[in-house]
């Protein structure tokens, strides 16, 4: 991820740093752990169709806002396009917890939107850099 720090991250919203599967390769039932600048979020993989679909549910967290979350699931769907690119769709389901849950629901919406935009922008940047490097390698080899 890049070093930018959009407004909500400066106000304390956890900024994504990296994610990995703790038990090696991705598979149904394994744990995906995301590291933020404020702690970690552990997620159980509940759907895994390699190169097609990934769905996971939050099971534990060390970030300060963990008590705000009653339920959080994310799903990524990958669709190959005719031009060789891939369409990536993300769907997030979440419900806030606690006696101020309506206010927390809005806070979670804003925080998740910021974190997901940041991650998507970085994934696109990394993907384009990789594609450009591959093009350069082909030019050098020719």
- The structural domain count of the chain equals 1
| Residue 107 domain flag | yes
| Residue 23 domain flag | yes
Q: Which residue range is the domain that position 101 belongs to?
A: 8-141
The 8-class DSSP code of residue 67 comes to G
| Residue 3 domain flag | no
| Residue 30 domain flag | yes
The proportion of the chain whose per-residue pLDDT surpasses 70, expressed as a percent, equals: 100
| Residue 2 domain flag | no
With a cut of 90, say whether residue 1 has pLDDT above it: no
> What is the pLDDT at residue 135?
77
What whole-number distance in Å separates Cα of residue 51 and Cα of residue 54? Answer: 8
> What is the pLDDT at residue 131?
81
CATH number of the domain where residue 94 is located:
3.30.530.20
Q: List, as one string, the DSSP characters of 36-58.
A: ETTEEEEEEEEEEETTTEEEEEE
| Residue 16 domain flag | yes
pLDDT digits (tens, 9 = 90+) for 125-135: 888 888 888 87
| Residue 1 domain flag | no
Average pLDDT for 92-97:
96
| Residue 44 domain flag | yes
């Amino acid at each position: 991820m890049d070093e930018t720090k959009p407004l909500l991250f400066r106000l304390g919203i956890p900024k994504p740093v990296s994610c990995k599967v703790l038990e090696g390769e991705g598979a149904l039932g394994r744990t995906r752990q995301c590291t933020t600048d404020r702690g970690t979020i552990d997620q159980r993989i509940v759907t895994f169709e390699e190169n097609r679909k990934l769905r996971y549910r939050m099971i534990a967290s060390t970030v300060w806002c963990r008590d705000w979350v009653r339920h959080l699931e994310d799903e990524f769907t990958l669709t190959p396009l005719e031009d060789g690119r891939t369409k990536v769709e993300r769907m997030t389901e979440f419900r806030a917890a606690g006696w101020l849950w309506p206010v927390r629901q809005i806070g979670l919406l804003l925080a998740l939107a910021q974190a997901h935009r940041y991650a998507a922008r970085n994934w696109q940047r990394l993907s384009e850099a990789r594609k450009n490097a591959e093009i350069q390698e082909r030019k050098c080899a020719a």
